[in-house]
Every structure is written in structure tokens, then in C-alpha cells.
Chains A and B, each alone.
Chain A
Amino acid sequence: MFHDYESKTFEFCSFWKTEKKLRDCNSQTSAILTYDVDNQTTRPRDAECQTETFSQLMKSKLAHQDENIDQEKLSKFLSNVEEVVSKQLKINISCNHLYSWSLKHGNVNDKSIVCEHVLDEDGVKQEKNNINKEATCISWSGSGASIVVGFGTNENISWSENKSFVCLWNLDRPKLNPHKCDHKLEVESSVQAVAFHPTLPQYIAVGLFSGVVLVWNIVKDDIIYGESPHEDPVTSLLWFEHQNNKYLRLVSGSTDGKLISWRIRKDKDSNLMKIDQTKKINSKNLPRRAGVKGQTAIGITCLDSPIHDSPLPSSGTVVVGCENGSVIKCSLEGVESNPVTFVYDNHVGPVYSIQWSKFHRNLFITCAMDQLCRIYHALQTNPLREIRIGGSVSNHIYSVCWSTTRPCMAYVTSGTDIEVWDVTTPSLILATKLGKPPITSMRTNPSRPSIATGCSNGVVQILKLGSRLVHADDVIKEETMALYDITKETINE
């Protein structure tokens, strides 16, 4: 029934499909050009050469020289020259004073402090009704040859308008008259601070009890007043370096808590010193451990700034000792009125004196009413060393100064004595009694081995330091290392 059926297939050509036609084609690129070039490198070869050292050359020439000396010319030259040279040789033998200072230094173990001059200005003593007779402050000139003394009184209770004096002596003058100073300036109030400019000795800054800051130009005998005074007595003055060479910069600190930066135009005659900026230390900016409550101003009693390369301090960092015993690091840069950057541990009682060490960039020494001298490291709150100054409690330690040549030595005034301490151990090296009236201020001479002390009866003594206290060449390395060792103690704690 069902068959398989195969249908026929049907083929037809496609209209669109064609055979692809292929053809071979050639293409030609340009020929690659090549060149042959020869190159030659140098081949090094070792060769030895020998030079003579200069001295050998000289020696060999020296040996052969005898043949070439023209004896006549040489003898003529020598006869010409002999006279001149002999004369000078004889002069050298006879004038020994040029070399005699080396003989003075022969006694290396001299530890004495000897009084060289006693300066007592008659004009101040004889002034009637003058209560301003104490030598309250002293400053040496940058060369160490002149000294300026400010007279006043430290016992001011109420506002005083008694006139007072600033006296200048030049100690190098052969006719030094200890009873009459070389220059005298009369001011309207007790002088509390004086400062010689370290490099321009014609400018002396004076700070008064009435708060007035003035600059005395000795050359022109002219006074430049600050445009507005402090509200309270000026206690400290410090000359700074001004970036602009035409100006001078002075910073004054006062018990009203203000740090005022003044600028003076050097060349123009001006009667007023302009204020660059004012900063005030307020107790609200101090931490609680400083122990001050409320919002009062903290009075400044002393200030100092570190000196690095130039003879004047140029960094804006200033370390300040205050009336309540606070020791504070301040910055004069910036526009904020609060200068406080770091607060150290307090003293008990006003800080009388503060000074940075010349030999270590981070150490400074302070002395205060609590009979203690402390050495602080700038980066640490608690002091590294404390020196308790002996003697009775009534012995005020008004001043402390580092030695200018020996890194570990400091001078402290204690009542009527000067004590010399080695701060590394700490140990007392020497104590010198100076006489009855208590010493109110002391300053070391920046370039000579002497110290000036001012007493409460107006007498200023210039003391010469023995060479053992000054001569530092043999010990300076050890002492600088000892000073660094003290600071290392802090890092390990």
C-alpha cells in the first residue's frame, strides 16, 4: 500500500551567487638603505708619572742654589735691610706691654674676684630729698668698655614722681673719675630697667617706674619717648634684631603683663617711638597648674631671649619670669594678643632674674624669691636642676647670670655675697663677700672678664674675675658635654 517515493531534485543557478575571482598581485616597498661606518674607541694604557712634593722640590733647588746666588746683590740687599730690621727687633724687646698680658694669664689657678673700681656718683648722692638712690639696674655696652647704671628705688609703694638719674661711665678712660660719671640723664621717675644696644652703643633704652619707655641717644644727646607708656612700672627691656635695617626693635615687659614691641627709625629724627604690637599675658591663658585664678594680668618681672648667630636675639621666642612665680615661654610673632606658648613649673614668689644659656640652645636659669635658682629645659615643664642658695632668708637673690666663658658656671647674688656655682652637680665653687649693702643687680661683662654689681646705697662695684673662672679653653669641651648630659636626663625620664 505504502511505497517509498523519492522525488526528483531540481537545480537552478543562483542569480546572485558568483564565483569569487582571485588574482595574484605584487607590491613593492622601497629598499632598506644600509651604510657601513667605522668607529674607533680609545684603548687606555697605564702609565706612571712621578711628581715631587713642593717641599722636595724646594729642597732640591735649595741644594743647587748655592751655585746661583749672586753674592754681591745678596750682600747689598742684606746691608740695606739689616738696619730696619734691627731697629724693629730692638723696639720689640723694649716694649713689653704688648706681650705682657700673656704673662698675666700665667697664673691659671687664680680663682679670686677682685674689686677693680667702685663707682659712686656724687650728683645722685647729693641730690636733696632724693629717695631714688639705689642702683636698680645695670647694663654693659656690647664692647664691654662702658657701663650704664639706672638709679631708682625698689621700695616704691605708691606712685612716685621723684626724679631720678641714668649715669654712664666709660671704664677705658684713663681719667676715670668714679665720683663723676661721663654722661648723666635726668628722668622724671625711678629707673627700673636699662639696656645698652649690643651693637650700636649710642642707644640706651630706659624703663621707668611710671611705665614710660624711652631711648637715650648719647651721640645726639637726645631722648626718644615711647608713644604711650605702660600702665605699670617697666621691669625689663631687651633689644631685638629688626628684619629691616632702617629700624631698631625693642621689647619691654612690665608688671601690667604687657609685652610691647617698639620700633625706632634710625636715621630720621623722631620724637616718638612707635609701637609695633602689644601682647598681654592674662591668667585665663595659663593652665590650672600655674595656680592663678580669675582673669587678671600677670605682671612680668624679667625676660630674656636666646641668641643664636647674630649678637642680637632675632627669634620671636621670649622666656618671661612673672610676679606670681610663673615662668612662661612666649612668642612675639603672630597677631594674637596672647603670647603664651608654654608654661613651666612655678616658683614661689616673684622671679627676679632669668637668662638663656649661651652654650645650649634650650637651657635657661631663673632665680626667685624662694631662694632657689632653677635650670629649665625649654621643652620640659619641671626644672632640671634646683640650687638652694644658702644664707639667711633675708638674703635676697636678685640676680643670676651665666658665665660668659664657661658653660657650667653661674653667678648668683645672695644678699651681700656673690656665689659662683657649678650647675652640673650642683656645687658651690666660691662665695665672695662684698661689703654691707645688699646687692640689687648684677651683670656679667659680655667681652671682658668682669662683673658689675649695683647696691642699694647707689654704689656700683666693678669686679675682675680671676683667670680660673674665666679661662675656659681647657675645660670648655667637658663642660659643654656636661651641660648636654643634664639635658639628656630629661629625655630618659
Chain B
Amino acid sequence: MSEVEETIKRIQSHKGVLGIIVVNSEGIPILTSLDNSTTVQYAGLIHQLTMKARSTVRDIDPQNDLTFLRLRSKKHEIMVAPDKEYLLIVIQNPSE
């Protein structure tokens, strides 16, 4: 528990990080630093997008796999690190 918490705190201490969400393979958020409704929204949408991105990469080359996904928007950047069982979503506002 403490190790997990420490890691989350470390990631969150970077400049501009607005929030972190850890999602499991079903798309259900396990850990979050944001409020419930935002978490649920991000988890559902980003999980679907990551699945789509992963399947795109694998369709083009079946031996390839998705390692990192970045979504840059006007207001902030969403970074997604996928894994076999979990998904880490970090939202950062770099221009602070």
C-alpha cells in the first residue's frame, strides 16, 4: 500500500500534473486523485481509446504493441501508459 502510494505521490509531484488515475483491464478505476465523476468519465473514455489505439497498432503489425499514448489538447495533455492488466492515466497542464 505504501509503496503504491509513494509512487503515486512522486508522479503527482511533477510540475503541472492535474491528476492521476489507475484503471484496471475492465475499465474500472482503482486509484485516483480526482473526484469521482471526473475519474469515472476519464476512465471510461480513455480506456476505450486505448483499446482502439492498441488494436490499431496490432492490426498494422501483429508483433507490435502499444507502449505509450499521448493526447495533446488546447488546455492540457493526457498521457496513458498501458499494461497487460492496468492503465495509468496522467493529466498534465504544461504551460503553468
**Nearest-CB distance from B71 to chain A (Å)?**
12
Is B61 positioned at the interface, with any CB of A under 8 Å from its CB? no
| 1/0 contact string of A89-101 vs chain B (CB within 8 Å) | 1101100101110
Residue of A nearest to B4 (CB): A75
B31 contact set on A, CB distance < 8 A: 74
Is B66 positioned at the interface, with any CB of A under 8 Å from its CB? no
CB contacts under 8 Å to A, within B18-35, are 22, 28-31
B85 contact set on A, CB distance < 8 A: 73, 77
User: Knowing A58-B44, A89-B16 touch, does A81 contact B88 (C-beta < 8 A)?
Assistant: yes
* CB <8 Å contact, B81 and A85: yes
A82 contact set on B, CB distance < 8 A: 7, 10-11
A79, A86, A89, A98: most-surrounded residue (chain B CB, <10 A)? A89
* CB <8 Å contact, A71 and B14: no
Interface residue ranges, A against B (CB under 8 Å): 54-55, 58-59, 61-62, 65, 69, 71, 73-75, 77-82, 84-86, 88-90, 92-93, 96, 98-100, 102-103
Residue of B nearest to A93 (CB): B15
* CB <8 Å contact, A84 and B95: no
B70 contact set on A, CB distance < 8 A: 88
* CB <8 Å contact, B40 and A58: yes
Is B53 positioned at the interface, with any CB of A under 8 Å from its CB? no
- Interface of A, helix, strand, loop or mixed by DSSP: helix
Contact size class for B? Answer: 35 or more
A75 contact set on B, CB distance < 8 A: 3-4, 7
**Nearest-CB distance from B33 to chain A (Å)?**
13
* CB <8 Å contact, A85 and B11: yes
A85 contact set on B, CB distance < 8 A: 11, 79, 81, 88, 90
Residue of B36, B37, B94 near A96 (CB, 8 A) is B94
B72 contact set on A, CB distance < 8 A: 98
Residue of A nearest to B3 (CB): A75
* CB <8 Å contact, B68 and A88: yes
- Interface of B, helix, strand, loop or mixed by DSSP: mixed
Name 10 A/B residue pairs within 8 A (Cβ), A-sorted.
A75-B4, A78-B8, A82-B10, A85-B79, A88-B70, A88-B79, A89-B11, A89-B14, A92-B92, A103-B95
List 10 tightest A-B contacts by C-beta distance, closest first: A99-B95, A92-B94, A81-B81, A89-B14, A78-B7, A58-B40, A75-B3, A55-B40, A77-B86, A75-B4
* CB <8 Å contact, A65 and B95: no
Residue of B nearest to A82 (CB): B7
Residue of A93, A100, A102 near B14 (CB, 8 A) is A93
**Nearest-CB distance from A207 to chain B (Å)?**
42
Q: Measured between alpha carbons, how far is A71 from B11 in the docked complex, in Å?
A: 18
Q: Measured between alpha carbons, how far is A20 from B11 in the docked complex, in Å?
A: 124
* CB <8 Å contact, A93 and B43: no
Is B65 positioned at the interface, with any CB of A under 8 Å from its CB? no
* CB <8 Å contact, A89 and B79: yes
* CB <8 Å contact, B37 and A55: yes
User: Knowing A75-B3, A93-B15 touch, does A62 contact B28 (C-beta < 8 A)?
Assistant: yes
**Nearest-CB distance from A285 to chain B (Å)?**
54
User: Knowing A89-B16, A89-B17 touch, does A54 contact B44 (C-beta < 8 A)?
Assistant: yes
* CB <8 Å contact, B22 and A59: no
Q: Measured between alpha carbons, how far is A138 from B22 in the docked complex, in Å?
A: 56
Q: Measured between alpha carbons, how far is A82 from B5 in the docked complex, in Å?
A: 12
A98 contact set on B, CB distance < 8 A: 72, 94
Residue of B nearest to A89 (CB): B14
**Nearest-CB distance from A4 to chain B (Å)?**
130
Residue of A nearest to B72 (CB): A98
Is B83 positioned at the interface, with any CB of A under 8 Å from its CB? yes
A99 contact set on B, CB distance < 8 A: 94-95
Q: Measured between alpha carbons, how far is A194 from B85 in the docked complex, in Å?
A: 60
Residue of A nearest to B27 (CB): A58
**Nearest-CB distance from B77 to chain A (Å)?**
6
Residue of A69, A80, A84, A93 near B30 (CB, 8 A) is A69
* CB <8 Å contact, B83 and A77: yes
* CB <8 Å contact, A89 and B95: no
Residue of A nearest to B20 (CB): A85
Q: Measured between alpha carbons, how far is A65 from B29 in the docked complex, in Å?
A: 9
* CB <8 Å contact, B94 and A93: yes
Q: Measured between alpha carbons, how far is A92 from B11 in the docked complex, in Å?
A: 14
* CB <8 Å contact, A92 and B16: yes
B29 contact set on A, CB distance < 8 A: 58, 62
Residue of A nearest to B80 (CB): A85
User: Knowing A89-B14, A93-B14, A99-B95 touch, does A74 contact B30 (C-beta < 8 A)?
Assistant: yes
* CB <8 Å contact, B14 and A90: yes
Q: Measured between alpha carbons, how far is A88 from B30 in the docked complex, in Å?
A: 23
B86 contact set on A, CB distance < 8 A: 73-74, 77
* CB <8 Å contact, A59 and B40: yes
Residue of B nearest to A92 (CB): B94
B41 contact set on A, CB distance < 8 A: 55
A100 contact set on B, CB distance < 8 A: 95
Q: Measured between alpha carbons, how far is A85 from B14 in the docked complex, in Å?
A: 10
Q: Measured between alpha carbons, how far is A69 from B15 in the docked complex, in Å?
A: 29
**Nearest-CB distance from A84 to chain B (Å)?**
6
Q: Measured between alpha carbons, how far is A77 from B86 in the docked complex, in Å?
A: 7
